[in-house]
Amino acid sequence: MVKKSALTLVFLLAACSQADHPGDKAQSIVYTNDWNTLPTEPYRGKRDDISFSSPTHGWYGTGKGDLFATQDGGANWSLITSRPGTFIRALAFLDETTGFIGNVGTEYYPGVEDETPLYRTDDGGLTWSAVDLGGQTIKGVCAIDVVKTERIYQGKLRPHTVIHAAGRVGGPTGILRSIDGGESWTVIDMADHAGMILDIKFFDDMTGLVFASTSRSGDNEGLILRTTDGGQTWSNVYQSGRPGELIWKASFPTSNVGYATVQSYDPERVEQLIVKTTDGGNTWTEKSLTQNAGARQFGIGFVDEKHGWVGTMAGGFYTKDGGLSFTPAPIARAANNFSIIPTSQGVDVYAIGTEVQKVSLARGDRGE
């Protein structure tokens, strides 16, 4: 599955993970916290993103510009290319050959010299070419979202792929948008709307959300914006009201239910929060994650409306009741992203941060 989940796969996942009939246990997912750390090359700090195009084929990148690939579901990884000076912040692979690589850009992290925000590969990541933006650009990319749908064209139902790449941490802000599977792009300047953009999620061509902060300074507040016209206009649907916060990552197990992490840089703040929507991002409510000033949040991943994980600087947390309560989970520190992959047996969930980890959820009698 492509990062941020193609919506058709999200619907497939929801069908797999929730029993349509209470007595039909074959359709249920057995939930477990048996996370396994995968063998990867040691890396100082956190890795930022991981993307799978199928249950077997996946990729992850590093801030050193190294791209690793697996063909066996993460059991083995190989370095397939390296581009020093590039910071691989985001990945999205459409299939085993075609993918997009987001670079965070210059003037934020030391040693990053690459000014190209987005690359395309058509050979599984072995070679990259800069995406042609027609003379326009954005400073850097922190997230890539792919929506795979179908539409009627000339009397036939044809595949339709919408891609958005957005950034960045530290600002300035902008969105790259393609409604033809990455063949052509437009640039949306977001400077008037947000100081930083950390994540993006679209449901179709027109309706989407960005997860952001109000400014680039220390008084920034967590911010979520929503559009219904493909990014021409935006409405403010959540603002935290507390300085030193931003919305880091989001996860939508269904088109209506979604979650996002509220990352706080206030050293005195003990309570850590997430936010939840049940109406497709129109409104959001805050939920308490933990009482721990050291648990600054990063990634979030939900398999269905109730079951999900959050990565923090203090390790992982797990909920089985839709965010009403959380318990610690054996996930390494600073899990920045989760990739959720439907398989023939159930669901594989990957977490990437200081380590790359995996838990396999099989179908069977309902477990928690």
Rounded alpha-carbon distances, angstroms, from residue 218 to 166, 195, 266, 272: 21, 11, 10, 18
Sorted by sequence, the CB contacts under 8 Å of residue 43 that are 6+ apart come out as 62, 64, 354
pLDDT digits (tens, 9 = 90+) for 325-337: 999 999 999 999 9
Q: DSSP characters for 185-203?
A: -EEEE-TTT-SEEEEEEES
- Domains of the chain with CATH codes: 7-362 (2.130.10.10)
Element (H, E) at 9: helix 7-17
The CA distance from 185 to 134, in Å, is 8
Task: Round to whole Å and give the CA distance between 349 and 340.
Answer: 5
Q: What is the mean pLDDT of residues 353-364?
A: 95
Is the predicted pLDDT of residue 253 greater than 60, yes or no?
yes
345 pLDDT exceeds 60?
Answer: yes
| pLDDT for the residue 262 | 98
Q: Looking at residue 151, what is its pLDDT?
A: 79
Instruction: Give the model confidence (pLDDT) of 61-71 as tens digits.
Output: 999 999 999 99
Residue 311 contacts residue 338 (beta carbons within 8 Å) = yes
> What's the pLDDT score for residue 365?
57
CA neighbours within 13 Å on the CB side: how many for 200?
A: 34
pTM score: 0.91
Residue 308 zone, left/alpha/beta (φ > 0; ψ -120 to 50; rest): beta
5-26 confidence digits (pLDDT tens): 333 333 333 333 333 332 333 4
The percent of residues in the chain predicted with pLDDT above 70, rounded, is: 92
